[in-house]
């Protein structure tokens, strides 16, 4: 098994630039055409921080998925990328589908050679790593969405408190709700 995994990694290393390019395109295809074009073509990381995050995150994630067994670097690589997706207008499936797209992309570029060399078992192992990455991405996504919900709840609490305070419907010594930023003006 170790030899077949190493051989699969050699095949993937040879095709890594094409796989990465296609994976980035699969992610960008979830955006409107103008946005996708901007994310892809604007190379200045300050003019295009989202495109930079996508490219760097996918590059690191692919490297760790293909050539490592440790999930912590995969989590680190996905974290910022998923945080961006979590604040955008995507369903959970829409935000995370790009992780699963990697399986099809690898097959499109390497399946013939994998079959020819009898490396299907090593490919299944890689599929399991990609599935683990999807679960990691889902945990990150869920955590981000919980944080956003908490922020919105605190904002509503704060707004209600200040409206009641301004309407003089609260006792003066009543403290603002937790997380509220009170401005006396």
Q: pLDDT tens digit string along 60-107?
A: 999 999 999 999 999 999 999 999 999 998 999 999 999 999 999 999
For the cut 90, the answer to whether the pLDDT of residue 179 exceeds it is no
Over range 115-121, report the average pLDDT. 95
pLDDT tens per residue across span 95-109: 999 999 999 999 999
pLDDT band at 150, cuts 50/70/90? confident
- The answer to whether residue 128 scores a pLDDT higher than 50 is yes
Q: State how far the Cα of 93 lies from the Cα of 19, in Å rounded to an integer.
A: 22
* Within-domain flag for 170: no
**Tokens at residue 127, please?**
């599929």
Q: Is residue 20 part of a domain?
A: yes
Note whether residue 64 is domain-resident. yes
Supply the range of the domain harboring residue 137.
Answer: 2-147
Q: Assess if residue 7 is contained within a domain.
A: yes
Give yes or no for residue 40 having a pLDDT over 80: yes
**Residue 24 — pLDDT band, cuts 50, 70, 90?**
very high
- What's the pLDDT band for 185 if we cut at 50, 70, 90? very low
Cβ atoms of 162 and 140 within 8 Å: the answer is no
Domain total in the chain: 1
pLDDT in tens, 131-144: 999 999 999 999 99
SS3 content of the chain, % helix, strand, coil (to 5): 75, 0, 25
Residue 84 has, within 13 A of its CA and on its CB side, a CA count of 17
Residue position matching structure tokens 């999807």: 134
Structure tokens at 149: 């919900």
């Amino acid at each position: 098994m170790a030899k077949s995994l190493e051989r699969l990694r050699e095949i993937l290393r040879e095709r890594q630039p094409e796989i990465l390019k296609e994976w980035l395109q699969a992610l960008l295809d979830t955006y409107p055409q103008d946005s996708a074009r901007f994310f892809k073509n604007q190379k200045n990381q300050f003019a295009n921080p989202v495109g930079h995050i996508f490219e760097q995150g996918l590059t690191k994630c692919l490297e760790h998925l293909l050539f490592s067994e440790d999930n912590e670097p995969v989590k680190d690589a996905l974290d910022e990328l998923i945080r961006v997706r979590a604040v955008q207008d995507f369903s959970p499936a829409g935000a995370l589908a790009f992780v699963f797209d990697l399986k099809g992309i690898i097959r499109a570029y390497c399946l013939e050679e994998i079959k020819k060399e009898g490396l299907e078992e090593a490919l299944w192992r890689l599929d399991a790593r990609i599935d683990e990455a999807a679960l990691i991405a889902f945990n990150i996504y869920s955590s981000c969405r919980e944080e956003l919900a908490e922020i919105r709840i605190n904002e509503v609490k704060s707004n209600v408190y200040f409206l009641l305070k301004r309407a003089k419907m609260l006792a003066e010594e009543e403290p603002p709700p937790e997380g509220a930023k009170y401005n006396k003006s």
